[in-house]
Structure 1
Amino acid sequence: MSSAPLRTYGGVSGTDRQAERRAQLLEAGLDLLGSGDGPRALTVRGACRHAGLAARYFYENFADRDALAVAVYDRVVEGIAAATLDAVEQAAADAEAKVRAGLSRLVRAAAEDPRRGRLLFSPSMADTALAERRVASTRMFVELLGVQAREFYGVDGGTRLDILAEMLVGGLAQTLTSWLDGSLEATEDEIVDHCAELFLAASATS
């Protein structure tokens, strides 16, 4: 990547133009990764063509296709995590309201944009550069759930809470995987209702 100063053209700074190109490539990467062809659809040439940019602009932002894939994944996960946490924090101060708010936001994020759902839950991503990222994001959501539980219930945690968090996050991920690929027939509301019931039942025993 070049370290030369980026000049201003048409009132737009070089830094802003580079940020715009990066955003275009990230959106192109999400389109391609989230397509029916999955990871096979993502190439440097394909991303550039999809974004309408020359290859040199790709390499000013990313070392290769794997770097783009990781950046796309991180942006999606960070956005969903932030939105879910915000929904929980804005909900009324009772367990059911907070659980339902967080689950509703998470399920809606996966459902409203099929690209995100495929990126996060499609088995086709398992043997790609995103495999380690998926492990890391699962760990992040487990830790977030643990923190929320400890803060809300005023408990110190422990092995039981850690196991519950692992089971709930892992179970939710598998539920969404099956739902999004069509093997689990349920409405969005049913997913939220039943998962909220299970989360609340688990919290009552923690």
Structure 2
Amino acid sequence: MAASSSPYDLWLSDKLLSLNPDCDTDVFVSYISAILDETDTPIEEKKESLGSIIGEVVSQDQDAVCEELIQKWNEFQKQKKNSAEDNTADLGDKLSQILSERKLTVAKERQLTSEELARKEAILAQYSQVSDEEDASRPEESTKKTEAGGDSLVTKNVNKEAVLKAEKEKREKSKQEHEKKKEKDKKDRENQKQKVLDRKDGEKKRTQKGEKRR
């Protein structure tokens, strides 16, 4: 088996060898997995396809073996889905944490600016040196503060757009990879099916040749 084999492929390989030690797992495992992975095929057609393949491995209890293969496939797919959902939830938690930390940082910056302004006003009031020019400077400071807050808001919006764009690109890439995988699986399934047929023809010819010698 290849190093990149899925958990189900590993289980399937052991299962087939337990049923028939002479089973060619490189051919049968890939072919069976490709059949089960086809989402557009009705379950009855999958069972029929599996039955013809399992018939090359065992001569009895073929229906029971097919049912077990399908059941195990569904179990592994459920585990895979749950794992993916957990990873998505973890990503959502991390994004929420980042946004919360950013909001806290902005809040602290605004609070610090207010304290500095209050201290300045207290000093000016203490020495009674508040002039019209200094009074006019306060709206300017308030304007700078508003502009700083506006810059923070723009930055947050840019970051949000970047995250959404990255998620969209990730989904598009995943979709393209899924389509490529389906096409590859389809070609592999056809090639593997032909190998099985060629193998059956070869065995048939050898049997006929042996009977003629007798």
TM-score for the superposition, normalised by structure 1: 0.29
Q: TM-score, normalising length from structure 2?
A: 0.28
* Structure richer in helix, relative to its length: 2
User: Using CA pairs below 8 Å that are at least 6 residues apart, which structure has the higher relative contact order?
Assistant: 2
